[in-house]
Amino acid sequence: MSLEIYPMELSDFQKIEPILYEKFDDFWTPNIFKGELENQNSYYFVAKNDDFIVGFAGISLCFDEATVTNIVIHKENRNLGIGSQLLEKLIQIAKQKNCTSITLEVNEKNIAAIQLYKKFHFETVGLRKQYYNHTDNAIIMTKILPKQ
């Protein structure tokens, strides 16, 4: 797989919009996602294999803090290291923007994602009860970034 990561453009979103729910799991509504792409404090990236989008990820910045908004991998391309490469890119952006920490929420049932975040030294700092669909808890994880 020759994976390349690029800043996401609206045309990329338009390519994946028809298959978001079928191939990428539950996700925000298209209007919310388009709003994120237009937000000057948000950065989104796509992972492409040839010209096929196999994943995407985003980060939102507020002062010196970053929040991972999502890391989403095409169902047929999971467990290939794509999530790791996208997370590395998000961490790189946070460092470039002089952020002191990165925080995220993850469904407590998403063991693969939790393992990914632990691999990158995110630590559990809290819990949001019944956050996902009013049933599943969200684990809050944070990574402190070294000062540059």
Distance CA 33, CA 44 (A): 10
59 pLDDT band, cuts 50/70/90, is: very high
Instruction: List, as one string, the DSSP characters of 51-77.
Output: TEEEEEEEEEEETTEEEEEEEEE-GGG
Please say if 117 is a catalytic residue. yes
> One of 6, 44, 117, 123 is an active-site residue; which one?
117
Distance CA 26, CA 6 (A): 23
Please say if 21 is a catalytic residue. no
pLDDT tens readout for residues 64-80: 999 999 999 988 898 99
> One of 43, 65, 105, 123 is an active-site residue; which one?
105
pLDDT given at position 93: 97
Which tops the pLDDT comparison, 59 or 17?
Answer: 59
Residue 1 has pLDDT above 70, yes or no: no
pLDDT tens readout for residues 10-57: 888 888 877 777 766 666 677 787 888 889 999 999 999 988 999 999
pLDDT given at position 113: 93
pLDDT given at position 23: 65
140 pLDDT band, cuts 50/70/90, is: very high
- pTM of the complete model: 0.91
128 pLDDT band, cuts 50/70/90, is: very high
